[in-house]
Amino acid sequence: MTSPAVNAEITPLQERLIDLIKTNGPISIADYMTDALGHPHEGYYMSSSPVGAEGDFITAPEISQIFGELIGLWLVQSWTDMGSPPAFNLVEIGPGRGALMADILRAARLRPEFVNAATIWLVETSGRLRHEQQRRLRTESAAIQWADAFSDVAPGPTLLVANELFDCLPIRQFIRTKTSWRERLVGLADDDQALAFTIDKTPAHPSLILPSVEETTAGDIFEICEGGQALTTEIAQYLIENSGRALIIDYGHLASGFGDTLQAVRDHAYWPPLSSPGRADITAHIDFEALGRAAFEAGAAVYGPITQGAFLERLGLSLRVERLCKTISPAEAHEIKQSAHRISAPSQMGEIFKAFCLSSPDLPAPAGFEGE
């Protein structure tokens, strides 16, 4: 990804945030992300077409159909591991343009009983993207429902997937000053015309779980994704009550660490996160250790994270590429090989992206995670 020639415009959301901060003082980065991404009218996901070659960023299911097909087979195997329940929920949170679900269902048709047993729930906050999902999936025979939140999904045995969802859940940042941890906030630049980072005047509340001051140095930045941890706990509790598995794929680090991972992307290039809110995607890396802890404390079985490259390979990526390439032209085969390389090579998406599975404790280790 390149750095952009920044041509930031003042957005209506930015004007509103400036007024709000002038009156009430700086806001948390989490509140900023919530508005910039999810404001009902001007939020990025509500008002843009984020994903795909014509959007601002591209995701694995948009790069290669094999990604979703392998996950489809993983889901069929998981359903078998659950004793092939005659009715179950197949949930996707944050389905984007519906590509992953379309590929999952195509691969899963190998077992029509799976598709017939599934009630599909697409949990999506953006009306615009729901519309794209409806268009993409309208020819599917399976029953599809949309929900605003995971809590709306009916009880029952469940298989859940979420690709590149957790990275857009709001984070808070804390910075180690000389003597204490303080929250990094969004305030105003000197001329009051632009947004700028600032630091809270008072130390972080003692109830927050932050690394100790003694073991850190001034300037360290620590991130907390409260929404991601709460959603993980909610999914874990739900799976324990209802039986099932959740497969979460996203980019991030295995162990909690220090550093500023807040980033924005616009038109396939990095963008300053506080410029033109509502017009750029804003994300942060996932702290898988924190999510794993949340799931474990709720009582779920936790598998991984393992790298996306290793996960896809264990599910048969190379074999699938080889088989597909036998029946098509050399040019098409080249394209398939290249897209498979993009989603699995360590230098591309294979290493930074991780697969992570939560499961009700009654089930065996899921395919791809044996021995993890």
**Which residue ranges make up the site for ligand SAH (CB under 6 A)?**
45, 51, 59, 61-62, 93-96, 99-100, 123-126, 129, 163-165, 168
Question: CB-wise, 37 or 367, nearer to ligand SAH?
Answer: 37
For the purposes of burial, counting CB atoms within 10 Å of the CB of 2, is it exposed (0-12), middle (13-18) or buried (19 or more)? exposed
For residue 160, the minimal CB distance to ligand SAH (Å) is: 12
For residue 260, the minimal CB distance to ligand SAH (Å) is: 21
For residue 301, the minimal CB distance to ligand SAH (Å) is: 24
For residue 310, the minimal CB distance to ligand SAH (Å) is: 19
For residue 179, the minimal CB distance to ligand SAH (Å) is: 36
Q: Give whole-number Cα distances, 230 to 29, 118, 265, 361, in Å.
A: 17, 26, 26, 20
Question: CB-wise, 161 or 302, nearer to ligand SAH?
Answer: 161
For residue 133, the minimal CB distance to ligand SAH (Å) is: 8
Question: CB-wise, 99 or 301, nearer to ligand SAH?
Answer: 99
Question: CB-wise, 21 or 358, nearer to ligand SAH?
Answer: 358
Collapse the DSSP code of 361 into the 3-class scheme (helix H, G, I; strand E, B; otherwise coil) and give the result. coil
Question: CB-wise, 220 or 229, nearer to ligand SAH?
Answer: 229
- Phi-psi category of 268—alpha, beta or left, where left has phi over 0 and alpha has psi -120 to 50? left
Quick one: DSSP state of residue 2?
Answer: B
C-alpha span between 366 and 356 (Å, rounded)? 11
**Distant-in-sequence, close-in-space partners of 83: CB < 8 Å, separation ≥ 6:** none
Question: CB-wise, 36 or 51, nearer to ligand SAH?
Answer: 51
For residue 324, the minimal CB distance to ligand SAH (Å) is: 21
Quick one: DSSP state of residue 189?
Answer: -
For residue 5, the minimal CB distance to ligand SAH (Å) is: 25
Q: Which residues of 76-91 are buried (b: 16+ CB within 10 A; e: fewer)?
A: bbbbebbeebeebbbb
**What is the rounded radius of gyration, in angstroms, for the C-alpha atoms of the chain?**
21
Question: CB-wise, 42 or 124, nearer to ligand SAH?
Answer: 124
Q: Give whole-number Cα distances, 96 to 182, 280, 290, 292, 320, in Å.
A: 35, 15, 25, 25, 25
Question: CB-wise, 71 or 301, nearer to ligand SAH?
Answer: 71
Helical spans, DSSP H, in the chain: 12-24, 29-38, 44-47, 60-63, 65-81, 99-108, 112-117, 127-137, 226-242, 288-298, 308-314, 317-326, 330-344
